[in-house]
Every structure is written in C-alpha cells, then in structure tokens.
C-alpha cells in the first residue's frame, strides 16, 4: 500500500462485524452494525498515541472511507479514536 497519512490522520482497515448476537443468534448481513473497530495500517507524523498494528475503537461517524487499489480503507483523525484495544 502506498498511502501515507498526513498530520494527525490514521489509515485503518475495518475489522469484521460480529455474525452472532450476544445470545447466539446468527445475524443476516442487513442487521449487522457497522463495525467501529479497525487495525491501524499507517499513521501520520503528528499521531502520538497510536502505532501501526494497533487495534482501535473509533467514532461511528468520524472516519472517511476510501478505496485504494481495490481495498476499502478508513482515514481517521486521532481525535476520533476512543481507545487502543490491548490483546
């Protein structure tokens, strides 16, 4: 990938939404919520708390969706990131 974000921007790939509800019911594609978790692929030079490879939780309405080389990616401002998920 040849996409380098500027300033406080982060390039992330959205992680898949859960296919089951909490009670174990399989959800159809139309009922799944848009995921708010992603994997960081690249960070801008002003990003302080997130690094490449981190899994992040971000604002539902914060990221901009872009398509690069046929891949759906997200451009997220660092201020729209709520947390880094520790595994």
- Are 82 and 49 a contacting pair, CB within 8 Å? no
Q: What is the pLDDT of residue 3?
A: 87
Domains annotated on the chain, with CATH: 9-85 (2.30.33.40)
DSSP state of 31: G
Q: What is the pLDDT of residue 17?
A: 59
Q: What is the pLDDT of residue 82?
A: 94
Q: What is the pLDDT of residue 2?
A: 80
| Of 41, 37, 42, 43, nearest in space to 15 by CA | 37
Q: Which residues of the chain carry a pLDDT beneath 70?
A: 1, 17-22, 25-35
């Amino acid at each position: 990938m040849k996409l380098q974000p500027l300033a406080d921007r982060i390039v992330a790939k959205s992680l898949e939404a859960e296919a089951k509800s909490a009670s174990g019911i399989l959800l159809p594609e139309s009922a799944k919520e848009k995921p708010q978790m992603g994997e960081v692929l690249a960070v801008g030079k002003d990003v302080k708390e997130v690094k490449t490879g981190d899994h992040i939780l971000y604002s539902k309405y914060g990221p901009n969706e872009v398509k690069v080389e046929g891949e759906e990616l997200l451009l997220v401002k660092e201020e729209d990131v709520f947390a880094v998920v520790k595994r």
